[in-house]
Amino acid sequence: MAITTLAGCTNIKDDSDRTRTEGALGGAAVGAAAGAGAGALLKKTPGGAAAGAAIGAAVGGAAGAAYGDSVAKKKEGYAAKESVLDAQITGLNHQIAVRKDYNEKLRALVADKEKQLATVLAADRAAGPTVVEFDLRTSIYTKVEEIDREAKSWQETIDAHKAVLQKSTDDPHHADLQKAIDELSEQRAELLRQRATLAGINDKLKK
């Protein structure tokens, strides 16, 4: 009967409830068997075996329930930890996508500024800086300041995720988080490369 009842546990959808139920029923079955044997030996009667089985089932059921609850809590802890890391990776991938978009727009802007630089350098500058040159310098200076703020923010994000990574070495998604952090680091490196190009444009204007 215990085996049949345990088989019925497969219909329990919630894993934690199923684990707790299986622990209680398993403990009851083992306890009943042990209690029946002890009762039969002590009282030498069928009634003794039945009484022993009842007592054993109660004691075993309680012990099994406690064990099942312990296992269920461990499973719940593992699941919670995994879901937190999954959510972090999902959020980080979204941030990477946003940074990629920022860098793509930045590359387009840098290309436009380089065209403006070529126009300024080709013009007669003997009379001093033109309005176009002044606007180019000012816009580049403003953009470089913005990039510096972004670079700092991106590094703070990377450092925060690295701190989580160090605490999750035994997590199955550790490698996935490391990969995402590396991708974000590469986007920051690209950001700094574009910054260097912009700063270089202003350096050329000084000549």
Q: Which two tokens stand for residue 151?
A: 């670079």
pTM of the model: 0.60
Q: What is the pLDDT of residues 59-102, one digit of tens each?
A: 555 655 566 566 555 555 555 555 677 888 999 999 999 999 99
DSSP 173: T
- Residue 191, domain extent: 81-205
Of the pLDDT bands very low, low, confident and very high (cuts 50, 70, 90), residue 147 is: very high
What is the rounded CA–CA span in Å between residue 93 and residue 99? 10
Do 57 and 143 belong together in one domain? no
Fill in the amino acid letter for 17: D
Do 65 and 115 belong together in one domain? no
Do 107 and 142 belong together in one domain? yes
What is the rounded CA–CA span in Å between residue 111 and residue 104? 11
Mean pLDDT of 186-199: 97
Do 85 and 71 belong together in one domain? no
pLDDT at 205: 85
More confident: 116 or 59? 116
The answer on pLDDT for 6 being more than 50 is no
Of 16, 51, 77, the one marking the end of a domain is 77
Of 28, 47, 77, the one marking the end of a domain is 77
Do 53 and 124 belong together in one domain? no
